[in-house]
Amino acid sequence: MLHIYDTLSRTKVPFKPVEAGRVRMYVCGMTVYDYCHLGHARMLVGFDIVQRWLRASGLEVDYVRNITDIDDKIIRRAVQTGRRIGEVTAFFIDAMHADERALGVQPPDHEPRATAHIGDMLDIIGRLEEKGLAYRAEDGDVNYSVRNFPDYGKLSGRSLDDLRAGERVAVAAGKRDPLDFVLWKAAKAEEPEDTKWPSPYGFGRPGWHIECSAMSKSLLGLPLDIHGGGPDLKFPHHENEIAQTEGAYGGVLANVWMHCGPLMVDADKMSKSLNNFRTIRQTIAQGEPDDAKADYVSNPREAEMLRFFIARNHYRSPQNYTPDNLIDAQNALDRLYQALANVAPDEQGLDWDEPQAQAFKAAMDDDFNTSGAMAALFQLAAEANRTGSARTAGQLKALAGILGLLQQDPQAYLRAPTRYKPGGAAPSASLDDASIEAMIESRAAAKRARDFAEADRIRAALREAGIELEDKPGGTTNWRRL
């Protein structure tokens, strides 16, 4: 039985959907004002694997991942660039989708945009006001009264007094309490007109937190089976979602709360605020991506390497980013593909009774333990290399496919250049396929003429250029870029 670590109860719990056989999962998505970085990639890939395993387990999944398309950061970007809000968000939504395609992230079943749910947000705010949980401030904003919600702090595990002592929330003039947060922001004269919506409280726009409460309730109903997001959303975003939704409707917002771990750069979390981030497109694009264009061409070998790099760690664990760690991930993924290149997999489908498939399933049912599932893949690769069993290679490919890995043609994958190897940029990229094939033919001709010195020289030159040949009694049968 699947067990998931629930952030709220701080324990692994057996997963039992509200409706048997169906999972309603909501994950907080991107605020689309800039390109996605590798920390975002971890969230995108992590929850993609979660929904893949739920489906592989025979469950029907209704997966919602929202887009925040109205926010202070988006407004600043629009003002700085002289573009309308919709132009800014459309560009970065397209850029995010390009990243997802490159990483093999399957689209969610629903991808709501906050601006399409303003009415749902105003409905919740009205309910909160009726229950004494929201008030109109002198500055025109509508705020949530945190001290009127007794359970506030239960997700983060902090009391109201602890939170206030930590001075985690900036004090605004219209707030009754420093911890109160905005539900509806009154429009300001200097703000663009396309950031203002009519409401019972005057023209304005929603606060960030109310957006997810409205979209999750509207599309999935209550309670959610799973609510997920990045590590920095636990407080205050998810804490505030609980206060809003449970305050308005009673009951619980979600039965299971999931948070992926941070992507670290040394001792700090990768983030735009610390300016220590690297974008997805910078990491996996063929050449330098044109930042004037949302789309780009990815290097398929490097893109799958990045997915593998993320998947090899348990989703809740902190993960450290260094160039050397990407190189290590590239080398490890190459070994799995080499096994499939050595032994062509059969296509008979998964045999769940096979020992490594059982180990894979046990790992994934233990809070989506992808690091344990990866161990089963490497055991199968070793067995395929040792025995030459097409059935074993087929098991390897099929199980890896659940994680979104090993679905490329092995020969095409291994012949693609990669920057992620010791020494930096791969010298093999300087030789195109036609040049390599010509050198291999020249080597074969030298061997036929018994000029073994020339044959050895060509092999050494190819090796120096990062090309490894696979020789068998009949000659060179394959080659790959190291």
pLDDT, average across residues 392-411:
98
Q: What is the pLDDT of residue 33?
A: 96
SS3 336: helix
The answer to pTM > 0.85 is yes
Beta strand residue intervals within 215-262, DSSP E:
224-229, 254-259
Q: How many CA atoms lie within 13 A of 71 on its CB side?
A: 20
pLDDT of 31 above 70: yes
Which of the four pLDDT bands, split at 50, 70 and 90, describes residue 404? very high
CA-CA distance, 121 to 142, in Å (whole number)? 12
What mean pLDDT do residues 386-414 have?
Answer: 97
Cα–Cα dist 123/220, whole Å? 16
Measuring CA to CA, which residue among 78, 67, 253, 234 is closest to residue 153? 234
pLDDT category at 269 given cuts 50, 70, 90 is confident
pLDDT tens figures, 180-206: 999 999 999 999 999 999 999 999 999
**pLDDT score, position 275:** 76
Element (H, E) at 269: strand 268-269
State yes or no: pLDDT of 43 exceeds 90: yes
Q: What is the DSSP letter of 197?
A: B
Confidence of residue 427 (pLDDT cuts 50, 70, 90): low
What pLDDT, on the 0 to 100 scale, is given for residue 266?
A: 75
Render pLDDT for 217-267 as a digit per residue (tens, 0 to 9).
999 999 999 999 999 999 999 999 999 999 999 999 999 999 999 999 877
Residue 166 has pLDDT above 70, yes or no: no
Q: Does position 153 have pLDDT exceeding 80, yes or no?
A: yes
Q: What is the mean pLDDT of residues 454-463?
A: 89
Instruction: Extract the tokens encoding 100.
Output: 């997802």
What DSSP state is assigned to residue 89?
H
CB 373 within 8 A of CB 327: no
Pairing of strands 254-259, 224-229: parallel
Binding-site residues for ATP, in ranges, read: 272
Report the distance separating Cα 397 and Cα 340, nearest Å. Answer: 8
Whose tokens are 């300087």? That residue is 430
Q: Given pLDDT bands bounded at 50, 70 and 90, which one contains residue 429?
A: low
Give the least confident one: 30-34, 115-119, 166-170, 299-303: 166-170
Amino acid identity for residue 336 in this structure: L
Q: Which residues are annotated as a binding site for Zn(2+)?
A: 28, 212, 237, 241
DSSP string, 106-159: PPPSB--BGGGGHHHHHHHHHHHHHTTSEEE-TTS-EEE-GGG-TTTTTTTT--
First to last CA, the chain: 41
Which pLDDT band, with edges at 50, 70 and 90, does 168 fall under? very low
Q: Annotated binding site: which residue ranges?
A: 28, 212, 237, 241, 272
> What pLDDT shows up at residue 185?
97
